[in-house]
A and B are shown apart, each in its own frame.
Chain A
């Protein structure tokens, strides 16, 4: 489930409010968005992927809140990790075009 919106990183672009398929976030006038309906989160990671400044963290646990903090996540280098792997963001190459996609298909049929 969505666990963290980083106050220090968030630029209040409200992209997460727009893209969340299950409408978990609420806009806040003159502020950063809030997690308003956490239990509606379906753990699809899309908000994290669309966040342009890596300010969000979705924990893999889909049924329960684990209460992880931003500083713990930063220490482990977990903020923004998914977006980097998908290859979204300035100067990155989308993983969709990665040569391993073809190699995998050739060698294993996936």
Chain B
């Protein structure tokens, strides 16, 4: 079927790309401000992304001064003191309001001893099914299985996006007054739970439109995971002991500080086993309920993780659990390009986490807060745009030409080779977890070559074309990552340089990066106050 029978063309106020927590909050919030909204998800809004298959804690802190100060201090040093108090305050406020709103929408929170709802965590399937319902009720048009392939822009700024429906093969174009990128981070197709839709697409599209990125050196999160499984939930490993095959203990191994010990053993070819034998008996039934999916792989293989040692690995979660992403230029999550907004993992999370993030609570809070900030920002921008709205002269911004079916130049096998080539540079612990200038320079040189090879290739409006475009986004992401990591000649947050072991007070700044063919990086001061928009 080489003939393109039809194309879908929509016009709206706000286009949201991505239908996870950040995207759905952006859509609902923009709609509440009176904007017409279209939401396009590359998978299915409700099941797609890192949140839907998981359970997560949420950074929900009552507005009590002492509690809030403790909450802000809890990860401030771990993050290399790159977070900003003003942003943490705003996110704590908004998360508190949004969680209460979720209760109003009917999320079934458990009850505490007094019979009040206990709003400290969310079960992904329940949460995202509810968000889809709320989005639909708000009158938002949802396009499922509709990856965006490129942004549209003119001299006024970004004005829409174009992509394809992977189930029907029909290309789509949405013209919009403003676009919110909520495409998640990049986990480099490592099969971390729910993460294979997260390939850095939003970073690439935003950069092609002229946006900048921030904190891309904080992109090397690895999760403890059974070797045979996709379930990258790490919280319960605080109850784990780690052993070698012969039953002797792995000295210094741990789920938080001791992860590098696990990595060094795995690098030397010594398999490490975990068993949750430190969990108190009375907590076991509670743990089973708390994270249903954690136990699923074990139950299905007949393993009791509380008593039976099982082999583990460290699976790359990239910027999904890392904190780098698109740079935000104001408090309503505008990017450096007019009309373009970013939220969730697609945007930098340094503003509340600095260079480190542990469990999901900050990430979940960031997604729902930045999502609603971006929705507000985009809706306000569209109102301001007013009269110009009708006279746009939009151009396609993809570096790679996006062409119709049958006219592309990438064989599916070639796209798979590119993916493998990127993974070879970003997955190994001796490249990306324990970093050195020499090794990262080698990786960056090869990745630059890979980009040069991909940038001229014509990408088809097909399932295979989408995969080739994902490969380009992964290549671009890896290049920004190592460009920033090379510029930060110290260790800070999750960025660990073997050749620069300590933290350097003179590098207490964020690193902004960007560019497509020629990459650049520059420091930006961490501000105590941000200008109110």
Interface residues of A (CB under 8 A from B): 17-23, 40, 42-46, 49-50, 59-63, 78, 81-82, 85-86, 88, 94-108, 110
Contact = CB atoms under 8 A, between A and B. Distances in A.
Contacts of B301: 60
A21 B194 contact: yes
A104 B118 CA distance: 11
A109 B293 CA distance: 19
B500 interface: no
A108 B283 contact: yes
Interface of B: 42-44, 46-49, 52-53, 57, 107-113, 118, 120-123, 125-126, 144-145, 166-167, 191, 193-197, 228-231, 235, 282-283, 285-287, 289-290, 292-293, 296-301, 463
Contacts of B193: 42-44
Nearest to A59: B300
Nearest to A18: B44
Given A60-B301, A99-B110, A102-B110, 4 more contacts: A19-B47, A45-B53, A60-B228, A78-B300
A38 B75 CA distance: 40
Contacts of B126: 86, 94, 96
Contacts of A107: 282-283, 286
B44 to A, nearest CB: 5
Contact of A95 (B48, B144, B289): B289
Contacts of B231: 60
Nearest to B466: A23
10 contacts: A18-B144, A22-B196, A42-B191, A44-B194, A81-B300, A88-B125, A97-B110, A99-B111, A104-B287, A105-B121
Contact of A110 (B109, B167, B235): B235
Chain A contact residues, majority secondary structure = helix
Contacts of B145: 23
Contacts of B110: 96-102
B53 A46 contact: yes
Nearest to A99: B110
Closest 6 CB pairs of A and B: A21-B43, A60-B297, A97-B108, A42-B196, A62-B230, A43-B230
B194 A102 contact: no
